[in-house]
Structure 1
């Protein structure tokens, strides 16, 4: 299984059988290239322009943008309710956390989570292999709250997303506060990982991917 970071909160997952799952695709106005390939499935955590854009190649692709359990034969996916802020959604609305199970690998995409998960929510976020977590603050978890969230979920691998770099035009924090709060940081000179090539040794291994097109 391969995971490709397109930037911001958007990831493309390629399964061993060639299926493509695109998560939280964005408009190109935020600075990244959004020339996404034709996919088999798209998940959308919430209906904001930087998380819900369908390009021409995917105008007819199946979209999951709701809560519940879905069995697609080549994967299962479950959406859990959360909030885009610390005020129960009063400021920015709802957010859907998706947990995907593909080829015995469990991936959790936190979307634009804006609060530390409640104990009830954490019950649904167990045994995660790869956690995709926003760390840029202002609209989502900041670096320190993201650290707390990662420690509570305790996945094998953590990939930070939704933060400031030299590409995006959005008002976000850089990853510094998250990096200094976490241990086991591994910087990769790529925006792509092959899960089968990873060597698991300890919980909460942070994989800091290189933003694409730099």
Structure 2
């Protein structure tokens, strides 16, 4: 399966069969336009402008924006409710965490999670190969809280998202504060915006690898 980062919290997840899922497509107010993208399904963690620009996605995709368990062309998708802040949603409302299984690889997209790690969240996510997690703070968890999630979930790969990049007009921290919490040898910079993963990559016992795209 292939993971492509379009910026902010938007990823394109492509199974080997050709099924495509897009996560949290953003609007132009982020500071840069969403690249052209086509999908079979779009998942939306919450209804803020930088996560719910579903009309920009071509292909007449199915929209998943509610709690539930779904399947589309062999890709399993589940969503459960969390909070966009640390006061049970009183400030920013709810947030959906999505889990996906593509080609046997378990992926988790944390949306705009704003609350600390709890046993309930850990149980709901379960085992995860690839964790997509916000690290920019201000509107979501910060670098330290994101690291706590990583330490407890123990994914094979973590890909940070929702942090400041060039052109971004949202008040977010850069990714460096998150990367500084890991040993340098466990951080990989990828030239470009995508990686291709095979289930066999996750056989064995390895430390979590942080992958950062250089778009």
Q: Shorter-chain TM-score: which interval?
A: over 0.9
Shift of the alpha carbon at 1:71? 2.0
The answer for the alignment partner of 2:212 in structure 1 is: 208
Is 1:69 the equivalent of 2:74?
no
1:57 and 1:178, CA in 2 relative to 1: closer, same or farther beyond 3 A?
Answer: closer
Shift of the alpha carbon at 1:190? 1.4
Deviations 1:97-136 (A, max 9, x none): 0000111110000000011221012112222010000000
Is 1:189 the equivalent of 2:191?
yes
Distance 1:204 1:119 in 2: 20
- Number of aligned positions between the proteins: 211
Shift of the alpha carbon at 1:12? 0.5
1:9 and 1:33, CA in 2 relative to 1: closer, same or farther beyond 3 A?
Answer: same
Residues 105 and 198, structure 2, Cα contact 8 Å, conserved in 1:
no
Query: Structure 1-normalised TM-score?
Result: 0.93
Distance 1:57 1:51 in 2: 12
Q: Which has the higher strand share?
A: 2
Distance 1:57 1:189 in 2: 25
Deviations 1:39-92 (A, max 9, x none): 100000000000000235538321000001112241111101100001110000
The answer for the alignment partner of 1:15 in structure 2 is: 15
1:35 and 1:187, CA in 2 relative to 1: closer, same or farther beyond 3 A?
Answer: closer
The answer for the alignment partner of 1:134 in structure 2 is: 134
Deviations 1:135-165 (A, max 9, x none): 0000001111110111111111000000012
Distance 1:157 1:59 in 2: 29
SS at match of 1:89: coil
